[in-house]
A = this chain, B = another copy of it.
Amino acid sequence: MRTLNAEHSITLPVRFAETDAMGVVHHSNYLIWFEAARVAWMDAAGVPYTEVAGGGHHFAVTGAQVEYRRSAYFGDTVRVSAKLALLRSRKVEFVYEVLNALDGVLLARGRTEHVCVDLNGCMATLPGDVMERLQLAVAMGV
């Protein structure tokens, strides 16, 4: 595997329900946006997460980090990009950026770490066909 530089992005209008009494998007929502971008990345990579889950595996989240740079507001549209940053037999990591979709200003950066688990929640090796397609997707630039 080589580049890991393929990224995919989605745009999301900020939902009013995502704001808090400071008048900005509550910080917990960035993890939900990251997840939506990760799911879209996997769709674009030809490895829909529904298929992984349907095959009895999940990418359980074992770590998450977010660096918040500027606030997002109701009325904003954000662009959230995801990129596979690490691909191992039992582990994957993704990195993310959240930009204001209008002016491209960086709002946040983040990373999530995942282990592959089976239906019993036990750590498992990524299924062979999932691994192959993830590698191919990365090599091809998604």
A27-67 CB contact bits vs B (8 Å, 1 = yes)?
Answer: 11101100110011000000011100100001011111111
| CB neighbours of A65 from chain B (8 A) | 63-66
Segment from A16-24, A83-91, A93-101, A126-134 that makes contact with B: A16-24
| CB neighbours of A60 from chain B (8 A) | 22, 68, 71
Interface: A121 (CB within 8 A): yes
* Interface contact B20-A20, CB-CB below 8 Å: yes
* Chain A interface (Cβ < 8 Å from any Cβ of B): 13, 15-17, 19-24, 26-29, 31-32, 35-36, 39-40, 48-50, 53, 58, 60-69, 71, 73-75, 121
Known contacts A13-B40, A16-B35; 18 further A-B pairs (Cβ under 8 A): A13-B39, A15-B35, A15-B39, A16-B21, A16-B26, A16-B39, A17-B35, A20-B21, A21-B23, A21-B53, A24-B121, A28-B32, A49-B74, A49-B75, A60-B71, A64-B64, A64-B66, A71-B121
